[in-house]
Amino acid sequence: MKRGRKSKKEKEDIRKKKMLDAADDDGGVSVQRPSRKRKKDDENDELEMSGAEKPYGLRGRKQEMMSKVIKKRAKYCEKGHLTCHQCKRNDKGRVVRCSTCTKKKLCLFCIRAWYPHLKEEDIAKACPVCRGNCNCKACLSSVQLINQMKKNPTRDKGEKVEHSLYLLQVLLPFLRQLDEEQMIEKEIEAKIQGLSVSELNIVKADFSLQERVYCDNCKTSIFDYHRSCTKCSFDLCLICCRELRSGQLVGGADPIVLDFIWKGRGYLHGGKEIETENQNASNAGAKAEVHEWSRSGWHSQSNGSIPCPKVNNECNHGFLELRSILGQHFISELVCKGKELVQAYKIQNVFKPPDSFCSCLGLDRNTDVKNSNMRKAASRDNMADNYLYCPKAVDLQDKDLNHFQWHWEKGEPVIVSNVLECTSGLSWEPLVMWRALRHVASATKRGQHLDVETIDCLDWCEGGINIHQFFTGYTEGRMDWLGWPQILKLKDWPPSNLFEEQLPRHCAEFISSLPFKEYTDPLRGALNLAVMLPDGCLKPDMGPKSYIAYGFPSELGRGDSVTKIHCDMSDAVNVLTHIAEVKLNSEQLTAIEKLKENHFEQDKRELCGNDHDEETNTYMLNNSSSTINALDNQNSVQVMEHEGGLCDQKAVNQFHQSGNNEIATAKEDGLLCESEVKEVDKVDTKLENDLLFGGDASEGALWDIFRRQDVSKLQEYLKKHFREFRHVHCCPLKQVIHPIHDQTFYLTMEHKKKLKEEYGIEPWTFIQKLGDAVFIPAGCPHQVRNLKSCIKVALDFVSPENVGECFRLTEEFRTLPINHKSTEDKLEVKKMTVFAIHDVVEKLEKSRLEIADI
């Protein structure tokens, strides 16, 4: 018989036969033998028996499932008291329960790893969640706190009116200036059309508030009146119109390219140049942009009309007609309303703080400021601004706002110390920020946050690096192929326009730390013009933005962790939120000193080879900050500025032996002493390294901020000595477009000393400590050097006191070459001013109506 599979009926017959045989063997009783069925239990993977004794049917199955759920819940509750809130695990041993909320628990491992500043008893008293500084993944990505900040709180009506009146008083003159410029252009347009100004009808431009309109010639922003081609999309601002009619078109200069030639890796440390091809780097940040027309043949007509400079099939020199974005009479009507409110409230100069208000005026060089709110930052002769206002955040009261305004109006920086003490204490550790970004990154973009762009401060070139490797170097240090400290700066991480989205909890923590929130609050600051743009209007990116970079305590002279001299278009506040000290061993320090000798020899070769002032070359070579070993071989050494305890040990010994304690006194005040030259004999070079990591443990960055009135002299000095500076690929500078806005200079101690000798100016110089908030007024050139690895978070704002400076910088930037990185007007301060006054007028008119009704 052919073998094959048995049918179901045959199988069933065989099974019944076996059951009958079993029944006969057991005395005639039929019993169904249970079948073995493997079911995996959560605890011990036991084998359950399921057979005829278990109920069948839907009801029985439901009861069976319910019993399993009850068992699992019991087991979960039994282990639930061991689950750590931070790591969400229950297998790490003992946990500490919070007595405040009685719910959250943390294991000992997470307490030591993520909250090293807290002890077990601290956690038991109040867990990080109750303290408001939990850094678990869920809490770091929470938007609850930042959303609460965005809600408009109930503010005292009197305070609203007071701030509105102050804004109206300060801003109205600038609105009048804008109105006068528009009136001049309207008169010219009326003349072109052969009409009176009253008969003139200006075309309304078809632009929405979501668009950012730029002048096609100078790239400055257009907020209202402008001229636009009748045949193409060419737009021209009123300033360019005025310059064209005068025959001197300054704005939108032709592009200039600065090439920095790659001369080989060895050249970075004094080696010989190598011939390379196609290894040039253009000026950093420059945009590849050229004019699509000839500026040389572009002129206005005799009646004041301006032809379009473009020549193509579409346009072919159409004429530019006057157009308005806000409306023909918007600005003039706003000026009239502002004047009426000034007369109604009688606010002329009533809010200007008198000179007698500030108690800082009586300070001089011999004043004891150890316990005051002042910090000495300069040693100018017969100057009252050598001291900077430096209150403690915990001591600030409402009345201190007037004190701040007194200094701020004069264009002086302000330092507020210990601002982090006013926050919940959220950790700014790099790995905590990294965890937060990893958690919020979507699955589709998982790889994007692992690699970041950095800038190497030695050759100022960009490169990619794994974020974990970068932060390892942040705390432990990195050395290049020759043992020179590799100083890296993170470039735009996280992107400033995504800071709130990617780090919502840190964003809220930063905002809560800011003092003088009337100016710095990016959500509702009453005196911050940047927040007064209407809803639906395209707003500039004001931050917050993080600046994360390595640092080194002594001045290397090449490859220092610096932010080069620049000038921001707006005001800014910069908070130092984290520092990390990297210590080097003796072998590394020896390698550094050897490379400094190579740098010195290279500077000697190249500077002397350049065709410029020989006296300048000699001075800089003999006083270069990178020539420590060369100076040690002499019988005497010149000791320059004492940088936060990092000055030459040889001079310190001689200094203290002479009984002069000026360095110690200035150190307590946070001041870097004035540059001095001391002759010291019989020095021991081995003691120099003892102070490489000395000074206050909270010190993080060295700041130099120049006064506005000294900018012209600073520019003259940089133009005179620009060949003594290096930039991309360590190449000496060959050309300067603008000494401040190019951001290619950093003044070492020696350059600052010579600047004072030649031009009689010096900056405010101070050390930013952990928790210090530095306020930088618009228009003040400044530079920064990290003494340690630092995380700083900065925010831009626009104060009414500095609107005039913002106007000036806007017009200065428009004169740069069109490919310059600073030429684009991203702030749009004129638009801010108009809408700020519009908002103020609405509030004051509403207040007048409410008073009248009463």
Question: What would the pLDDT profile of 160-203 be if each residue is shown by its tens digit?
Answer: 888 999 999 999 999 999 999 999 999 999 999 999 999 999 99
Strands (E), 685-806: 699-705, 764-769, 773-776, 782-786, 789-797
Does residue 407 carry a pLDDT above 50?
yes
Contact 158, 311 (CB under 8 A): no
Token pair in block for residue 572:
């800014």
User: Band of the pLDDT at 543, cuts 50, 70, 90?
Assistant: confident
Contact 378, 386 (CB under 8 A): yes
Does residue 685 carry a pLDDT above 80?
no
For the residues 311-321, what does the mean pLDDT come to? 75
What confidence score (pLDDT) does residue 189 get?
A: 93
Does residue 659 carry a pLDDT above 60?
no
User: Band of the pLDDT at 651, cuts 50, 70, 90?
Assistant: very low
Does residue 825 carry a pLDDT above 90?
no
Q: What is the pTM of this model?
A: 0.81
Percent of the chain scoring above 90 in pLDDT: 47
Most confident segment among 215-219, 662-666, 671-675: 215-219
For the residues 313-323, what does the mean pLDDT come to? 79
What confidence score (pLDDT) does residue 489 get?
A: 94
Q: Which of 312-326, 548-562, 622-636 has the lowest mean pLDDT?
A: 622-636
Contact 715, 737 (CB under 8 A): no
Does residue 628 carry a pLDDT above 90?
no
Q: Which of 88-92, 305-309, 345-349, 588-592 has the lowest mean pLDDT?
A: 345-349
Of 725, 721, 790, 730, nearest to 755 by C-alpha is 721
CA gap 840, 853 in Å, rounded: 20
CA gap 261, 277 in Å, rounded: 9
Q: What are phi and psi of 606, to 5 degrees?
A: -80, -40
The number of helices, as runs of H, and strands, as runs of E, in the chain is: 25, 24
Q: Cα dihedral angle (625, 631, 637, 639), rounded to 10 degrees?
A: 10
CA gap 408, 621 in Å, rounded: 39
User: Band of the pLDDT at 280, cuts 50, 70, 90?
Assistant: low
CA gap 218, 252 in Å, rounded: 4
